[in-house]
Structure 1
Amino acid sequence: MTTKYTMLITGASAGLGAALAREYASRGWALVLTARREDRLLALAEELKAAHGTACTVIAADLFSETAVPDMMAALDGQQIDGVINNAGYGHPGTYLSSDWDDHRRFDHLMTVVPAELTRALLPAMVERGFGRIMQVASLAGHMPGSKGHTLYAAVKAYLIKFSESLNAEMQGTGVNVSALCPGFVLTEFHDVNGTREGINSLPGFMVMDADVCAKLAADALEENKAVFISGRVNRMLARLNRWMPWLGRKIMNSGASSYRNQD
């Protein structure tokens, strides 16, 4: 397949990252897939090539490394990147004092420093060419009150939302679209990793979105240059509820946190 644009996706080996890779492959984009698990990336690349003829570059990258972004740029070796989806992330379980500072430092580096640094590395060339697409995968949690067990997670997601809003405003008229994707509960293996699968399975079906559906809606929102996109009507309602009645949002978050997230 002859492609015009190339999208770089971090955390592409599984979950929403893989779903976004499938969505952009179906739209004719070439892909650069990055994550730590090279075998998973190679398998996905083969799947996308068979299904869509997608040209995929695989970069096994440790985004916890302090030199992650320079290392990735070196691996790209001048390859043109027309879009980036900063999707890599995880939920760190437990309360703030239940983990050492180094665990929190690594979490913060992956979730805030890497997205901002990678965006800064790729953005100038997009502006120069007059075309670019940048998606930060945030969360509905960034719109809700902080609660026990979400000490840094909600904070970093709120950071990505504000970062995207500001960058979207700065990029007006340049041809570069910027969007923060704010999913609620999306059915992926993310919940197996952070120990919340049981909580997700107990939720009513209307509160959980399929990853492929979320990916399509997110790609559409980025094309429409929506600075912030909350996927799902229920999630948008919850975000509005918090703006209108923050005391109620805080009560809901704190009452439900213990059943959803491990807080030992």
Structure 2
Amino acid sequence: MPAKTYLITGASSGIGAQFARSYAARGCNLVLVARRLDRLEALAAELRERHGIEVLPFAADLGKRESVQELLIYLKLSGISPDGLVNNAGYSLAHTFAATTAQQQLDFIEVCVTTPTLLVRELLDHMLSQGYGRIINVSSMVAFSPGASGHTLYPAAKAYMLKFSRSLAAEVADKGINVTALCPGSTESEFQHSNGMDAVLKTNPARFVQTAEAVVEAAIRANEAGREVIVTGLFNKIAVAAMTLLPDGLITPLIRWGAKKYQLKE
């Protein structure tokens, strides 16, 4: 069988780069998308040499609709129809809603909600036509939380990715397409650096922080098994169970107390 092709967003570092390495090790060809072309090209060269696969790096700002359209047009003109999609690109705004601008929040929604939705819709038809597809949408364990001060839209966006994934999975499960919402907790990556949370997250006990490799391997296994949701890590599973099963009046104060350290001061 010809090698499958996976499109991975946010592939220049962290979880996205690890998805690229893990799928490359499985013999898959790749389309790697992120803003930093130099990093994408370096990763592409590494994976081509190590695994003998085809890798296309594509620089795009996924917060801009025109960049997403350019990516889709390029794929069409190049005759590339991805068999798999990993919607990994994302970030958070650690300040309160009032301390950010409307444009900042709209850009966040574009990257974390609109772009993943658009990519799924545009790539889904090919998957349906061939009776095979793999989609992993990176959500977060905070998708199960009641929300707290700071990172205002982050839980909402991740809850959207969780519900979207489950609804889509219900629609296409009998059509050869597996859809999985990946819900990790703290993971070794550059995510915290991009939102100014480096110092805060370094205070987390090491047992609460997973490696990107552990998260990605769990996600790929879950997706291949047809699981709709995967929460990675024992402590994260316990936390999600508590957020899901405990009464709201009990869990909400605990979550909001614990989340205080993750909000940047105004």
Q: For the superposition of Structure 1 and Structure 2, which TM-score range results when normalised by the shorter chain?
A: over 0.9
CA RMSD after TM alignment: 1.3
Q: Which residue of 1 aligns with 2:74?
A: 75
Distance 1:71 1:247 in 2: 47
Distance 1:3 1:183 in 2: 31
Q: Which residue of 2 aligns with 1:233?
A: 234
State the Cα distance separating 1:150 from its structure 2 match: 2.4
Distance 2:35 2:12 in 1: 8
Look up the equivalent residue of 1:66 and give its one-letter code: R
Is 1:161 the counterpart of 2:152? The answer is no
SS in 2 for 1:93: coil
Is 1:258 the counterpart of 2:257? The answer is no
Distance 2:234 2:149 in 1: 25
Output the TM-score relative to the length of structure 1.
0.96
Q: Residue 185 of structure 2 contacts residue 232 of structure 2 at CA under 8 Å; is this kept in 1?
A: yes
Q: Which residue of 1 aligns with 2:250?
A: 248
The gaps in structure 2 that reach 5 residues or longer are none
Matches within 5 A, 1:39-188: 39-76=38-75, 77=77, 78-188=79-189
SS in 1 for 2:173: coil
- Give CA-to-partner distance per residue, 1:168-207, whole Å, 9 cap, x none: 0000210010000000000111111111122221111211
Q: Which residue of 2 aligns with 1:32?
A: 31
The gaps in structure 1 that reach 5 residues or longer are none
Distance 2:263 2:39 in 1: 27
State the Cα distance separating 1:127 from its structure 2 match: 0.6
Q: Which is worse superposed, 217-226 or 190-199? A: 190-199
State the Cα distance separating 1:3 from its structure 2 match: 5.1
Q: Residue 59 of structure 1 contacts residue 75 of structure 1 at CA under 8 Å; is this kept in 2?
A: no
SS in 1 for 2:56: strand
Distance 1:263 1:244 in 2: 31
Q: Give me the identity figure in percent.
A: 39
Q: Residue 95 of structure 2 contacts residue 150 of structure 2 at CA under 8 Å; is this kept in 1?
A: yes
Runs (4 or more) in structure 1 with deviation over 3 Å come to none
SS in 1 for 2:65: coil
Q: Residue 3 of structure 1 contacts residue 28 of structure 1 at CA under 8 Å; is this kept in 2?
A: no
Output the TM-score relative to the length of structure 2.
0.96
